[in-house]
Amino acid sequence: MMNDTLSNALSKIMNAEKAGKNGCEIRPSSSSIVQVLTILKENGYLGEVEERKDNRGKSLAVNLIGSINKCGSIKPRFPVKKGSFEGFEKRYLPAKDFGVIIVSTSKGVMSHSEAKQKGLGGRLIAYCY
C-alpha cells in the first residue's frame, strides 16, 4: 500500500536516473504528480512526460535526460512565508541559485523562484537539483 504517491514517483525517477536508464514509468498517476513533473520539465531536469491509459488505469512515461543529481519530496509539508524561502533553500539545495524547490501556493503549483517573484508563500512539496 502506497501512502505518498508523489514521494514514490520521485524516488522511482531518482532510482532510474542512478541506474542510467533513459526513461521510467510512474504508476499510479495523479494531477499533483503531473504538475510537479511539468515544473521539473520546464526547469530542464526531465524530457517529455507522456500520459498513457490501459486496462489498469493511467500511468506516466517519463523521458530522463540525465540531469538530476537528487530529487525528493519534502515531508512534512512546511508552510513558508513569502520572505522566508532562503532558510529552506539552504536546507534542501546545495548552493544558491542551483536547483528548484516546488511550492504549492494559492495561485497554483510553481517553483520557489517564481513564488519569490510573485511575492507568494505556500507549502513546500518537493526539491530537485
Q: What is the pLDDT of residues 12-59, one digit of tens each?
A: 999 999 999 999 999 999 999 999 999 999 999 999 999 999 888 899
How high does pLDDT run on average in the chain? 94
Q: Which domains does the chain have, with CATH numbers?
A: 5-64 (3.30.1370.30), 71-128 (3.30.1490.10)
Mean pLDDT of 105-116: 96
pLDDT value, residue 39 = 97
CB 25 within 8 A of CB 59: yes
pLDDT band at 97 (very low <50, low <70, confident <90, very high): confident
- Going by the DSSP 8-state scheme, the letter that residue 101 receives in this structure is E
What CA–CA distance (Å, rounded) separates 62 from 57?
Answer: 16
Task: Spell out the SS3 assignment of 34-99.
Answer: HHHHHHHHHCCCEEEEEEEEECCEEEEEEEECCCCCCEEECCCCCEECCCCHHHHHHHHCCECCEC
CB 73 within 8 A of CB 65: no
In this model, does residue 1 exceed pLDDT 60?
A: no
In this model, does residue 89 exceed pLDDT 70?
A: yes
Mean pLDDT of 112-118: 95
Mean pLDDT of 77-85: 93
CB atoms within 10 A of CB 119: 8
